[in-house]
């Protein structure tokens, strides 16, 4: 049995840990602290936790004020509300002023499941990535989330941290310290095609690489948890080495990881890219597993995309 942990659980646990050392950290939530897992911080440090109620725009504004006055705010809600409802507050209040606010959003992507399309954010990375000064991170599992939370706590500017609802297989050891903002992590080497993934798609990309190996195809697998800034050096090396890419994300193929990778490659190392992701459509109710299958976020789809993109080399 593979060990599972939701990235949001790792977030909640790490917040309590770093909150002990760093008393400058304050946490804000919009009536979702049990779901976003900030409730642990609220219990441990009630004087540094502010429930803002169902009022996300004000919450992001309050965070801006706290940051301007020297505090380190972590702000949590579901990804669709944190980035969508409060977009312009993030743009003008936080990013324009380059304030060190961490927007730690959970319930991103279609794996939210039964709540359906209104609650399944598929555009959050696209809109966060478009903002100057913003860093965008989408970790692959619990231990990497813990590292990302610590990195975000040290960041001098705004950070968007994207997390999910469901339990994910644990890929990294608890004591692993590979994560750095701006760095990807090469999990498997291979010369035929490069699979660039983030979030829960990293595990699918590893499974796809195993299936491809059975067919005699050697796929490199890269966990690109840092979507912005992107690890351009690693992408450049993979372009030289593999010459074809498949991007894998639980997000729209418009504006997310696939777009970021394509933007870099088209300017620097033109080579064919296939994108596995949500194809410009909204989600719907269903079990996370059924939805992943329906929207084509599977190892089998990555395998097909890899074979197709290799033919274009």
Rounded to a whole number of angstroms, the minimum distance from the CB of residue 84 to another protein is: 15
For position 66 contacting another protein by CB under 8 A, the verdict is yes
Closer of 58 and 262 to another protein (Cβ): 58
Query: In the window 20-49, what residues touch another protein (CB under 8 A)?
Result: 26, 47-48
The owner of tokens 């504004």 is 61
Is 264 a binder of another protein (CB under 8 A)? no
Among 18, 32, 63, 140, binds another protein (CB under 8 A): 63
Binding residue count for another protein, defined by CB under 8 A: 30
The length of the chain is 313
User: C-beta of 276: minimal distance to another protein in Å?
Assistant: 37
Distance CA 192, CA 238 (A): 10
Q: Compute the half-sphere exposure of residue 158: CA atoms within 13 Å on the CB side of its CA.
A: 27
Q: Are 197 and 248 in contact (CB under 8 A)?
A: yes
* Cβ–Cβ < 8 Å for 105, 7: no
**150-185 CB burial, b ≥16 within 10 A, e <16:** bbbbeeebbbbbbbbbbbbbbbbeeeeebbebebbb
Determine if 89 is a binding residue for another protein (CB under 8 A).
yes
Q: Which stretch binds another protein (CB under 8 A): 58-66, 151-159, 188-196, 280-288?
A: 58-66
* Binding test (CB under 8 A) with another protein, winner from 5, 35, 58, 180: 58
The residues that touch another protein, with contacts defined as CB under 8 A, are: 26, 47-48, 50, 52-53, 55, 57-71, 73, 88-89, 92-93, 96-98
């Amino acid at each position: 049995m593979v060990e599972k942990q939701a990235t949001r659980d790792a977030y909640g646990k790490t917040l309590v840990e770093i909150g002990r050392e760093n008393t400058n950290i304050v946490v804000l939530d919009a009536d979702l602290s049990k779901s976003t897992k900030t409730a642990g911080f609220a219990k441990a440090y009630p004087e540094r936790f502010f429930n803002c109620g169902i009022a996300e725009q004000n919450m992001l504004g309050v965070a801006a004020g706290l940051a301007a006055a020297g505090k380190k705010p972590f702000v949590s809600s579901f990804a669709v509300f944190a980035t969508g409802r409060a977009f312009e507050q993030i743009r003008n209040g936080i990013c324009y002023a380059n304030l060190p606010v961490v927007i730690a959003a959970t319930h991103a992507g279609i794996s939210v499941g039964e709540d359906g399309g209104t609650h399944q954010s598929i555009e959050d990375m696209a809109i966060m990535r478009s903002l100057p000064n913003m860093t965008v991170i989408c970790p692959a599992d619990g231990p990497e989330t813990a590292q990302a939370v610590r990195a975000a706590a040290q960041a001098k500017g705004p950070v968007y941290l994207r997390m999910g609802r469901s339990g994910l297989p644990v890929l990294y050891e608890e004591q692993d310290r590979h994560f750095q903002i701006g760095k990807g992590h090469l999990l498997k080497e291979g010369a035929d095609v490069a699979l660039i993934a983030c979030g829960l798609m990293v595990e699918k990309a590893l499974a796809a690489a195993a299936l491809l190996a059975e067919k005699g195809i050697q796929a490199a697998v890269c966990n690109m948890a840092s979507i912005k800034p992107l690890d351009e050096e690693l992408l450049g090396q993979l372009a030289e080495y593999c010459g074809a890419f498949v991007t894998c994300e639980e997000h729209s193929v418009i504006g997310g990881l696939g777009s970021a990778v394509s933007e870099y490659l088209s300017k620097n190392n033109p080579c064919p890219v296939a994108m596995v992701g949500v194809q410009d459509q909204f989600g719907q109710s269903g079990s996370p597993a059924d939805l992943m299958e329906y929207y084509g976020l599977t190892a089998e789809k990555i395998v097909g995309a890899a074979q197709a993109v290799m033919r274009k080399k």
